[in-house]
Structure 1
């Protein structure tokens, strides 16, 4: 099932179906002062990264919750469900980042799922360049990358993970290539991140590419086991959000991609990593 500019009516229906299930969720964001002398890895991003408190049959887990299995440094996960690079800066968690990030820290930045939505509070334009204040690149640079660099911290960009396509075909919205909708120009959000990283000399971990490869290899039936599910019924599967097994697999992919770079965070990769096993799900059923 491909999303193309020649099928705008179908595209809009697909967008609505997926986007309606990707909600902005209110969570308590306490005023936190984090004082650590050692290097810290801060995570900012959306629901594919953040923690949840679900009562699903297979609860949602952002991949940021499982990075502790692969990296041996303190990890502060500030990501929030439903936020974009634009809307996140109005959150308390963003203020926590500003108040605490310091020289020697790392900032992993993972947005895209919500920047692409036709919503004035969240939308950013992936087709415009870094110098345009309405662009995706502008928000990533001005409010995250520059903040880290100014504090002596090291920013790392991640492209967004794919959405699961029940038909097993990965193009269009499933890999964050969005068509134009009224008042909201489309664009390729993963490619915008890649280009920004190349322009600035910032490490980019291409999770769009890696998860696309993974999902195409596994096929539609096997990717079901990676995703959250509201009930035991397969019809309740959440094709955007991953469960603890999917989160662990993607955290492992992230560590693999990181190991191919010369980023200083590679010093914190755990050398003897355990490959994720499907059995982890048997301990996480909420029924």
Structure 2
């Protein structure tokens, strides 16, 4: 009888942790509602149609791993997510160096957790900043401590081609994979799954997805990018793939 009670208690705990699960998204304009403006939209707005649980898009245009941290947005997300919730984190487009004066978004170059850099602020003061991996790692481990399930996702490609293929990804793709390795969080190579989709469609068709610039997608393009993320989920090890619905199971292309 005692064993049965223990089993029932364990089952009840599992149910409480999974019922009512939510997927939260943290990222920049390529994921956010409205994208970069002027007829663009972020892929996070199209993910929900492929999952059986709700998606809350907390991506904000113009943010980097550092500024999302400094503005307290990761703190809000960590406080909001409950045990069993999924959190997809994807940055990189705004994380590059900004020149002689800090733009509030750049990260220290490198993937060392303890690596820092000193930047000059617009008022002439100096500030110590950390690496991309430092900011993302801190968010991931804080979420894991709460029992949430972070998924680290590489940034999406720009509409930049090398011959007949999308150009190779920037250093932040590798940095995000490094975070996954260090923390045990599942890594989705969103960059390469989008590149696979784009390469199949061809440059002319893909260029039509970019009405504003080479970074921000139209709604149609954002949907292709969302489908590529779902394909990455289905080909990976995240338990979130168990929440992919019939529409998600039918997204195009195969595993890399």
**Match of residue 109, structure 1, among 89, 95, 119:** 89
**Match of residue 62, structure 2, among 69, 79, 82:** 82
- 1:136 and 2:132 aligned: yes
Q: 8 Å contact 1:126–1:189 — kept in the other structure?
A: no
Kindly report which structure 2 residues correspond to 1:230-269, keeping only aligned pairs within 5 A, or say none: 237-269=212-244
Shift of 1:101: 1.1
> Which residue of the partner structure matches residue 4 of structure 2?
none
- 1:197 and 2:180 aligned: yes
Q: Scaled by the length of structure 1, what TM-score is found? A: 0.69
Give unmatched runs, 5+ long, in structure 1: 1-35, 177-187, 230-236, 277-287
- Report the Cα distance in structure 2 between the residues aligned to 1:135 and 1:40, rounded to whole angstroms: 29
Q: 8 Å contact 2:26–2:89 — kept in the other structure?
A: yes
Q: 8 Å contact 1:126–1:192 — kept in the other structure?
A: no
Q: Scaled by the length of structure 2, what TM-score is found? A: 0.76
Shift of the 189–138 alpha-carbon distance from structure 1 to 2, 3 Å rule, reads same
Query: For 1:76, what is the secondary structure of its paired residue?
Result: strand
Aligned Cα RMSD in Å? 2.4
- Report the Cα distance in structure 1 between the residues aligned to 2:36 and 2:155, rounded to whole angstroms: 22
Give the ranges of 4+ consecutive aligned residues of structure 1 lying more than 4 Å apart after TM superposition. Answer: 166-169
Which structure has the bigger radius of gyration? 2
**Match of residue 159, structure 1, among 154, 157, 164:** 154
Query: For 1:129, what is the secondary structure of its paired residue?
Result: coil
Shift of the 53–225 alpha-carbon distance from structure 1 to 2, 3 Å rule, reads closer
> Which residue of the partner structure matches residue 60 of structure 1?
40
- 1:208 and 2:191 aligned: yes
Q: 8 Å contact 2:231–2:251 — kept in the other structure?
A: no
Shift of the 61–55 alpha-carbon distance from structure 1 to 2, 3 Å rule, reads closer
- Report the Cα distance in structure 1 between the residues aligned to 2:182 and 2:70, rounded to whole angstroms: 27
Query: For 1:223, what is the secondary structure of its paired residue?
Result: helix
- Report the Cα distance in structure 2 between the residues aligned to 1:139 and 1:66, rounded to whole angstroms: 26
> Which residue of the partner structure matches residue 207 of structure 2?
224
Shift of 1:211: 2.0
Give unmatched runs, 5+ long, in structure 2: 1-17, 117-129
Aligned residues: 217
User: C-alpha offsets along residues 4-29 of structure 1, whole Å, 9 cap, x if unaligned?
Assistant: xxxxxxxxxxxxxxxxxxxxxxxxxx
Query: For 1:257, what is the secondary structure of its paired residue?
Result: helix
- Report the Cα distance in structure 1 between the residues aligned to 2:62 and 2:208, rounded to whole angstroms: 23
Shift of the 87–128 alpha-carbon distance from structure 1 to 2, 3 Å rule, reads same
For CA contacts below 8 A with separation 6 or more, give which structure has more relative contact order: 1
Query: For 1:43, what is the secondary structure of its paired residue?
Result: strand
**Match of residue 32, structure 2, among 50, 63, 87:** 50
